[in-house]
Amino acid sequence: MAAQSRLSELEQVLCYRFSHPGLLECALTHRSLTHEQAQTGGGVQAASAPEDNERLEFLGDAVLSLVVAEALYAMHPEWREGELTRVRAGLVSRQHMAQVAEAAGLGGYLRLSRGEERSGLRHKATVLSNSMEAVMGALYLDGGLEAARRFARRFVMGEAAEQLARDLRSGAALGNYKSALQERLQAAHAGSPVYRLKSESGPDHHKRFLVEVRIKGEDGARGDPLARGTGRTKKLAEQDAARRALERLEALGASGATARTAERDVPDGEPPSV
């Protein structure tokens, strides 16, 4: 398929027609191709060959962060900075942008050197993510912020943003339950979580750690156990304890209970049944 025809095909996928198609061509050009062309051209890059996409990637990364932050700010006036930051991080992450690129079939349009073509580079997540950011940069240069906004709303946000919001509420966003628990307790002015190693068992190559989380009040006093968690490392056990604490608070929250009520509901001297 001729180069211009391929660009037109991708424009249909992206739902955008470029006034300057060279920008899109540049966004699809990996540095391996320009390096190969420079070598085969006797060290001088052919005048007709576009530059690689790294500068557009730099620009697109900044534009992407801006338009996603702007959209989240408008969509969720009830969110605080921490919530906005964490969901934005998930949406602009390398993993998610690689998924966006895969959904658009972007790998099939990348311009690579023959060596990297044989290596399967066009299917690697890092290359897909970087190239998708470069396309965002090209959209911005060609159509301004509005073109970038439309693309982000259509391809980057959507259901992914809502899923991340649900994960955030459950404490699963980015897998960081400890941060989610701390943010929830601070928002409720209930104190901060404190983790304590209760026990460890098993041989060195197969350790098991038991960690307990309590709420530390503003006066420095530690409350009763809120939850316990286990894991192969202390950090994983702490994350598990935080996850269980969030589940407990979520269940109690549905009945109008507070974090302090959660502590009082645990019988003295007994671990919480979570």
Q: Do 213 and 193 touch, CB atoms closer than 8 A?
A: yes
pLDDT tops 70 at residue 254:
no
Q: pLDDT by residue (tens digit) across 188-236?
A: 788 889 999 999 998 877 788 999 999 987 666 677 789 999 988 888 8
- Every domain of the chain with CATH number 3.30.160.20 lies at 177-264
Q: Which of 10-19, 106-115, 166-175, 231-240 has the lowest mean pLDDT?
A: 166-175
The residues of the chain that CATH labels 1.10.1520.10 are 3-167
Q: What is the pLDDT of residues 158-181, one digit of tens each?
A: 777 777 777 666 555 445 778 778
> CB neighbours (10 Å) of residue 202?
10
Percentage of the residues of the chain whose pLDDT score is greater than 90: 36
CATH topology for 177-264 is Double Stranded RNA Binding Domain (3.30.160)
Q: What is the pLDDT of residue 164?
A: 75
Q: Report in angstroms the alpha-carbon separations of 92 from 23, 64, 88, 161, 192.
A: 22, 7, 6, 11, 29
- In this prediction, residue 4 has a pLDDT band, given cuts at 50, 70 and 90, of confident
Question: Catalytic site residues?
Answer: 61, 133
Buried residues in 169-198 as b, exposed as e (16+ CB within 10 A): eebbbeeebbbbbbbbbeeeebbebebeeb
The torsion angles phi and psi of 76, rounded to 5 degrees, stand at -130, 75
Q: Domain spanning 3-167 has what CATH number?
A: 1.10.1520.10
CA dihedral 242, 73, 92, 159 (to 10 degrees): 80
- pLDDT of amino acid 266: 44
At position 100, the amino acid (one-letter code) is V
- Measure CA of the first residue to CA of the last residue in the chain; give whole Å: 60
Mean pLDDT of the chain: 81
Q: How many CB atoms lie within 10 A of CB 241?
A: 31
